Structure 1
């Protein structure tokens, strides 16, 4: 069945986030070795900010190994950047999101 699988050919044209459901499908079908699928997921996450997910997959791949320092550092950078951006937009959110606006939005649903 693996010889008919088009995931590798089509996946390179998809957004990274759209490839994950395909890899989950392949995992459920047991078409490929689970370690190969996990490695593909790990590689796919290299250029994203989904570091926690990447760490979870790393732990599954290397059950006895410790987390790579570069991933821990990358996570700290991402959290720092998120905090910085959150603080930067907070005045805008405070101005836009008032109780009246929240009620209006809730009423529109």
Structure 2
């Protein structure tokens, strides 16, 4: 059955996130060795920010091994970037979380008119 599988050939042209369901399918079908599929998932995650998932797979591949420092450092960098971006958009979130803004957004969505950041700036004066 594995000889007819085109996942390896076609997967390189797909978005990484679309290859995961294919690998899950192959895992369920027991077409390939589980360690091969886990290694493919691990390799696929190398270029994503899904480090926690990658660490989980690493632990399955190397139950006795210690987590690689590069993954831990990568995770710390991703968390730091997430926190930085969260702080940057916090004024926008504060502006749209108010009841007035929620009603305004709902009204704008229903009336199909353009809802802009400039309008939020003008109306709520919280966004710099």
TM-score (norm: length of structure 2): 0.78
Partner-residue secondary structure (3-state), 1:65: coil
Higher helix share: 1
Query: What do residues 55-101 of structure 1 show as CA deviations (whole Å, max 9, x unaligned)?
Result: 00000000000100010000000000000000011012212332133
String of CA shifts for 1:11-67, please: whole Å, max 9, x gaps: 111100000000000000000000000000000000000000000000000000010
**Structure 1 residue 104 displacement after superposition:** 6.2
- For structure 1, the residue ranges without an aligned partner over 5 or more in a row are none
Q: 1:102: how far off? A: 3.1
Cα distance in structure 1, aligned partners of 2:58 and 2:107: 44
Distance (whole Å) between structure 2 residues aligned to residue 107 and residue 75 of structure 1 = 40
Unaligned runs of 5+ in 2: 110-128
Equivalent pairs, count: 109
CA contact 2:51–2:75 (8 Å) conserved in 1 = yes
Kept in 1, the 8 Å contact 2:95–2:101? The answer is no
1:76 is paired with a residue of what secondary structure?
helix
TM-score (norm 1): 0.91
CA–CA distance in structure 2, aligned partners of residues 94 and 104 of structure 1 = 14
1:25 maps to 2:5: no
Larger Rg: 2
